[in-house]
């Protein structure tokens, strides 16, 4: 009888200890005095840019079609301008290779990269924009996967829309890390 009471007491103590430990694990983060950052604070500064992609000036080749293994690719070098008019100031260049999704295997989608280089006093640097699914839609959603210079460590989204003719509008929504990593060197 005495042995049964000691086993029951041991079980009660064991379950009480497990319950107390579980409550501590659950309640400690909730009642911690350490301030928590909101998602907005963690993402750092944001930047919105908008410009137009124009075909290159007369005399240079605007693009070419390549045909690796039966698939076509669009290779281009265009000018970035402040506005849709041909007289708008040139602020950079856009280069890229795009393989249309309906003809490409999934492994080729990694090549759908647009490299945007800006050369203006406040924004000098480049951005890499990945076109994951490219079709023949009037508006494409793209992903910004990195940058250099003023755009170092940038992430975000880009909207690419045809405005008429061979001119496209590129609208960028960028975010930067609050604490950018340092590169040893």
Segment 102-111, tens digit of pLDDT: 544 444 455 6
Strand ranges in 11-110 using DSSP code E only, listed in sequence order: 46-54, 63-66, 73-81, 90-98
Q: How far is the C-alpha of 164 from the C-alpha of 68, rounded, in Å?
A: 29
Which 8-state DSSP code applies to residue 148?
E
* Residue 48 buriedness (CB in 10 A; 0-12 / 13-18 / 19+): exposed
pLDDT at residue 164 is higher than 80: no
pLDDT band with cut points at 50, 70 and 90 for residue 62: very low
Query: Residue 141 phi/psi, 5° resolution?
Result: -100, 125
Query: Radius of gyration of the chain from Cα atoms?
Result: 27
pLDDT of residue 91: 92
Q: With contact defined as beta carbons under 8 Å apart, do 77 and 56 qualify?
A: yes
Predicted structure pTM score: 0.62
Tens digits of residue pLDDT in 94-149: 988 776 655 444 444 556 788 899 988 888 899 988 876 655 566 778 889 888 88
**Lookup: tokens for 15:** 């379950």
- More reliable by pLDDT, 45 or 135: 45
The DSSP secondary-structure symbol of 129 reads: E
Please write the tens of the pLDDT for every residue from 2-27.
778 888 888 889 889 889 888 888 87
DSSP 11: H
Listed residue (51, 50, 79, 48) closest to 63, CA to CA: 79
pLDDT for 36 equals: 56
Tokens, residue 128: 């890499």
């Amino acid at each position: 009888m005495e042995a049964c009471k000691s086993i029951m007491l041991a079980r009660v103590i064991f379950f009480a200890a497990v319950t107390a430990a579980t409550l501590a694990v659950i309640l400690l983060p909730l009642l911690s005095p350490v301030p928590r950052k909101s998602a907005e604070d963690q993402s750092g500064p944001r930047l919105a840019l908008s410009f137009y992609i124009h075909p290159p000036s007369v005399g240079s080749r605007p693009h070419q079609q390549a045909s690796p293994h039966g698939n076509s690719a669009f290779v281009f070098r265009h000018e970035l301008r402040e506005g849709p008019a041909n007289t708008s100031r040139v602020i950079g260049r856009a280069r890229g290779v795009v393989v249309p999704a309906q003809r490409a295997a999934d492994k080729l989608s990694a090549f759908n990269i647009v490299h945007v280089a800006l050369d203006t006093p406040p924004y000098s640097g480049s951005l890499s924009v990945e076109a994951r699914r490219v079709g023949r839609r009037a508006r494409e959603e793209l992903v910004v996967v990195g940058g250099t210079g003023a755009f170092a460590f940038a992430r975000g989204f880009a909207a690419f829309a045809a405005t008429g003719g061979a001119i496209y509008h590129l609208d960028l929504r960028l975010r930067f890390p609050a604490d950018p990593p340092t590169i040893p060197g």
